[in-house]
Structure 1
Amino acid sequence: MSRVILIDPTLDPRWDAFVERHPYGWVCHLSGWKRALETAFPHMRGHYLALVDDSGQIQAGLPLFEVRSPITGNRLVSIPFASLSDPLVGEDEHMNLLLGRAIELLRALGGRYLEIRTHHWDGTPDLHKPEKRILYSSHFLDVRPEPEVLFQSFHRHGVRYMIKKSRRYPMDLLHAQDLQHVAIFHRLYTITRKKLGLPPQPLPFFQGLWRFLGPSGHVRFLLVRLGSEIIGGLMVLTLGKRMSAEAFGTEEKQRDKAPSFFLFWETIKLARNLGCTRFDFGRTAKDNQGLMAFKSRWGTQVKDLPQFYWWNGRRPKNIFLSFPPWINRGPYALSSQCPSLRR
């Protein structure tokens, strides 16, 4: 008979092996993501639920993180800072078993709500009538065609022209080699996030990703070098035949040289060379029309990213739904920037 257990993925090799073979398995499900989160954010703690059979083999899994905040309240999230994630299930029965245990955990911890993000999984949980929201979309590109064919699928003026423009300058793609490169990336990323009015994730988180997931190639930091100056950077995640662009930044004074277009095009070609068949542009808030348009010009397909919520007690008023998506992502967007709020 199957049963749900708590598992420590950093100590039990069954977990990462399960993630690697599951069709929905992604970098954020791996034990290294847990290590990076808990190292950078003292107010987060992972609780990994695994459905195992009589032989102890994992059949399904649901990574959850307890996120503690005195402002927005404590909650369980699957998974913090993961733009694309899924419950690792294949059957509705397995999902309901995991959900039942997750809701028990939510109540035991005194959390306000449980949030589960989805990407590939298209089931509809029927346990305890969840609330469904669609705040984000995913843009993805099939990179199996030859580069010349891919290039012709891009918007003529919005992308192809800009890639050609970037070729006028002596740029090259550099793979980060050490934490100094990660720090350079983070400086550029922070510049771009602040320009967009969004809170940047702190440097220790990226350092943790480099430390725990970089050696395996699951995380890469790609940099654009112009002469001796690094003017752009992109963090990508890779697992199986998928690569996803997750965090990005450029030097503001060099934007006229189109380093972002150079960087994305070179990264798409890299994904193809690594044997990937799909390149994701991460997730985008549906109300961010500028970014939605930018990603659409790369010949991408678009998919909604449903999020499901289970409330522990009375649901808050509708004003919660009117907040910008970056606030609705949870307390880590706030408390990561305000150390005094952590506990």
Structure 2
Amino acid sequence: MQIRIDRFQYADHQAWRRFIAQQPQATAYHHPAWLQAIQQSYGHPGWLVSAWQDGAMVGVLPVCQLRRPGRDALVSLPFCDLGGPVSEGEDSGSALAEGARTLLDDLGIGRMEIRQRGQPLDEESVIRPDPESLGEKVSLLADLPATPQALFAGFRTKLRSQIRKAEKNGLTATVEYGPEAIDAFYPVFAANMRRLGSPVHARAWFQALQATFGPQLLVGLVRLEQRVVAAGVVLIQGRQACIPWASTLSEYNHLAPNMLLYWQLLSETTRLGCEQFDFGRSSLGEGTYRFKRQWGAWPVELQWQNWHVDGRITSVGGSGPGKLARHSRQLVEACWQRLPLGLANRIGPHLRKHISL
């Protein structure tokens, strides 16, 4: 088994794309386009640890060297929920772990954060969650049928009526591609991030994603007359679709634009032949969790680990922030919400590029 550690620009991208196309567990985040967009828009170096056997690639571990003031961090992968190794077997998986330790040692960094899915939660945990587990982050996945018609028929009556309500309220939805779609998405996203008290990603980040993913990136747009009031970005890899970002303008939420947005995106990805839709990360039992569950999504554990240079593996923050950290975050969010939108949009990307989630 051969182990290769390459800077992103020197990795064999053709073999990389060919390999993940054959791996059902690979996500859009494992595609070279994700690291390429990070490097282009934010300047964080990318790496590929790969395993080879008989001249063929049998495992990949994409890694971002997140440049931070004072100390760099290695993450697989930042700005999303997932990443980590994709391999064809135990031997190639072990080779990737060995390569990760070598990369850590070469860069003088003590650990690498690995973000992976764990196992689906059992039915009892979903129906009657342990009070101590409420607020824990999970991934939510839904299987898609063969046609949009079958998808709609499988929804509960209440959900179908909410989608129709949005249409009766005068909202229209489209799925669009290209740079113009990013330009339509970004103002809604930026306004929503300021409302939530969170620094916003740079417009250049989304432009880089669109350029690198090409037709594998879809933008859902919901309009009231000519104004975009809800928008979301979907990435496709193989038979899987994921939605890393979705936002609405809060003053239009009474018209249910989020219902029409998700229906349009689910319908389109089903039409394109996707078999699974990743709704992203939510806190168990909270509002966004319940919203995603109504579409048929099932919670799956998020297994985030630190791989240490000495070979140890430890869990990443399963218990969540402490009381002081939560209070400090609430204060920061409250201050950010008071910033003028233009100022928040100028400052936000300079901070956001250093925040790995």
TM category (shorter chain) comes to 0.7 to 0.9
1 CA distance for matches of 2:79 and 2:193?
15
With over 3 angstroms needed to count, the CA separation of the structure-2 counterparts of 1:335 and 1:257, relative to structure 1, is: closer
Per-residue deviation, residues 281-312 of structure 1 (Å, max 9, x unmatched):
112244x7111111112222111111111245
Q: Which of the residues 287, 294, 297 maps onto 1:297? A: 294
Given that 1:84 and 1:282 are in contact with CA atoms closer than 8 Å, whether structure 2 keeps it comes out as no
Per-residue deviation, residues 25-49 of structure 1 (Å, max 9, x unmatched):
222222221210001112x211101
Q: Which runs of 5+ in 1 are unaligned?
A: 123-133, 328-333
Given that 2:189 and 2:248 are in contact with CA atoms closer than 8 Å, whether structure 1 keeps it comes out as yes
Q: Which runs of 5+ in 2 are unaligned?
A: 121-134, 330-346
2:339 is aligned to none
Alpha-carbon shift at residue 264 of structure 1 (Å): 0.4
Q: Which of the residues 261, 266, 282 maps onto 1:284? A: 282
SS in 2 for 1:119: strand
1:27 is aligned to 28
SS in 1 for 2:268: helix
Alpha-carbon shift at residue 64 of structure 1 (Å): 1.1
Residues 105-184 of structure 1 aligned to structure 2 (within 5 Å) = 105-119=103-117, 136-144=137-145, 147=148, 150-151=151-152, 153-154=154-155, 156-157=157-158, 159-184=159-184
With over 3 angstroms needed to count, the CA separation of the structure-2 counterparts of 1:164 and 1:211, relative to structure 1, is: same
Given that 1:135 and 1:306 are in contact with CA atoms closer than 8 Å, whether structure 2 keeps it comes out as no
Q: Partner amino acid for 1:196?
A: L
Per-residue deviation, residues 256-298 of structure 1 (Å, max 9, x unmatched):
1111100101111111111111112112244x71111111122
2:207 is aligned to 207
% identical equivalent positions: 24
1 CA distance for matches of 2:84 and 2:52?
18
Given that 1:10 and 1:32 are in contact with CA atoms closer than 8 Å, whether structure 2 keeps it comes out as no
2 CA distance for matches of 1:259 and 1:318?
34
Residues 48-63 of structure 1 aligned to structure 2 (within 5 Å) = 48-54=48-54, 56-63=55-62
Per-residue deviation, residues 146-168 of structure 1 (Å, max 9, x unmatched):
545544554554x3332121020
SS in 1 for 2:204: helix
Q: Partner amino acid for 2:2?
A: R
Moved more, 83-92 or 221-230: 83-92
2 CA distance for matches of 1:106 and 1:242?
31
The answer to which structure has the higher helix fraction is 2
Given that 2:140 and 2:298 are in contact with CA atoms closer than 8 Å, whether structure 1 keeps it comes out as yes
Per-residue deviation, residues 114-157 of structure 1 (Å, max 9, x unmatched):
111112799xxxxxxxxxxx953111222216545544554554
2:304 is aligned to 307
Per-residue deviation, residues 169-213 of structure 1 (Å, max 9, x unmatched):
333333334434312311111222332333332211111001111
Q: Partner amino acid for 1:240?
A: G
Per-residue deviation, residues 198-253 of structure 1 (Å, max 9, x unmatched):
33322111110011112xx2111121122222221110011211111111111222
2 CA distance for matches of 1:200 and 1:247?
11
What is the TM-score of this pair, normalised by structure 1? 0.81
Q: Partner amino acid for 1:206?
A: F
SS in 2 for 1:322: coil
Alpha-carbon shift at residue 108 of structure 1 (Å): 2.2
SS in 1 for 2:79: coil
Moved more, 113-122 or 103-112: 113-122
Root mean square deviation, CA, Å: 3.3
Residues 260-339 of structure 1 aligned to structure 2 (within 5 Å) = 260-286=258-284, 289-312=286-309, 322=321, 336-338=349-351
